[in-house]
Amino acid sequence: MSLEKLFWHSVNAYRRNIGLISIFSVPFLIAFPLALLLPNFTAVSGVFLRLASLEHDLDFNGTLLISGAFLVSLLLFSFAVAAINVIIRHERTLTRVTSVDFENIEEATYKLFAIFLAAFLLILAVNYGASEYLGGQPEWLAPLLTVAISLSILFAPQAIILEEVSMLSAVKRSASILFNRFYYFLFFICLASILLLVNGYLFLHLQDYWAYAGYAGIAVNALMITPFLEVLKAQIFLSKYSLLK
């Protein structure tokens, strides 16, 4: 399947299911206000945690608040990702979403939550270890490992929902997609970067005229860009099945 066909498959799948996808994207939007309770900064229409100051500025109560907000945000994010992929699975196989599927979303949500949380803790440990024991040298090591960990689980949601495999198998299959569908993966990274940069650039410049432009950019990211990218990831993952091309 060509990149053009892959793109239009994704656009059409998103358009045909925009109602359900939009409803199940609301948790993305809820997760962001929860994340705003954390020590963070916004950039490229996303919310990023400030890790460097945590060990100096936090007390016990602050730690509990941040941990709780983070875990709830991650759980909501996992639920939204799971629901969107269930919708796309049925869209590609020309079947209807049933009540049984919605029940299965719960199990998939917990699996994704565990994978995302494990990846976050591993990234946190890598960065802490590089800072404390290696003095931050070489400077490229921690960022490189962070990117490697993040990419290794990029397609894990699709493996969990579309193939109903275990968490370990999902990570393995996610990593295999990066190599077996490298050009699709590269296309995804380029398109995601363009969409996020354009969105961030647009709303950054609107801040001169509208005080809430930054938050509007986050909302567009949560309700439109992130859901569409999940649809695209599902199409990439399903491209390995020749009958679905």
Between the CA of residue 216 and those of 74, 150, 210, what are the distances in Å?
A: 21, 26, 10
Q: Is the pLDDT of residue 143 over 50?
A: yes
Asked whether residue 244 is assigned to any structural domain, the reply reads no
Asked whether residue 233 is assigned to any structural domain, the reply reads yes
Distance (Å, whole) CA 65 – CA 160: 30
Residue showing tokens 């100051």 = 53
Asked whether residue 243 is assigned to any structural domain, the reply reads no
142 or 82, which is more confident?
82
Task: Supply 115's token pair.
Answer: 């994978």
Asked whether residue 245 is assigned to any structural domain, the reply reads no
Number of structural domains (the chain) is: 1
Q: What would the pLDDT profile of 181-194 be if each residue is shown by its tens digit? A: 999 999 999 999 99
Distance (Å, whole) CA 184 – CA 3: 7
Distance (Å, whole) CA 205 – CA 224: 20
Band of residue 39 on the pLDDT scale cut at 50, 70, 90: low
Asked whether residue 146 is assigned to any structural domain, the reply reads yes
Look at residue 94 in the predicted model and tell me its pLDDT: 64
Q: Is the pLDDT of residue 229 over 90?
A: yes
Instruction: Return the percentage of the chain with pLDDT > 70, whole number.
Output: 82
Q: Is the pLDDT of residue 65 over 80?
A: no
Look at residue 41 in the predicted model and tell me its pLDDT: 45
Question: Mean pLDDT for the chain?
Answer: 82
Q: Is the pLDDT of residue 244 over 70?
A: no
Asked whether residue 87 is assigned to any structural domain, the reply reads yes
Between the CA of residue 13 and those of 52, 86, 183, 232, what are the distances in Å?
A: 41, 12, 21, 9
Task: Supply 103's token pair.
Answer: 């029940």
Band of residue 43 on the pLDDT scale cut at 50, 70, 90: very low
Q: What is the mean pLDDT of residues 171-198?
A: 93
Range of the domain at 163: 3-238
Asked whether residue 96 is assigned to any structural domain, the reply reads yes
Q: What would the pLDDT profile of 88-127 be if each residue is shown by its tens digit? A: 888 776 667 666 777 788 889 999 999 999 998 998 888 8
Look at residue 151 in the predicted model and tell me its pLDDT: 93
Q: What is the 3-state secondary structure (H, E, C) of the chain?
A: CCHHHHHHHHHHHHHHCHHHHHHHHHHHHHHHHHHCCCCEEEECCEEEECCCCHHHHCCHHHHHHHHHHHHHHHHHHHHHHHHHHHHHHHHHCCCCCCHHHHHHHHHHHHHHHHHHHHHHHHHHHHHHHHHHHCCCCCCCHHHHHHHHHHHHCCCHHHHHHHHCCCHHHHHHHHHHHHHHCHHHHHHHHHHHHHHHHHHHHHHHHHCCCCCCHHHHHHHHHHHHHHHHHHHHHHHHHHCCCHHHC
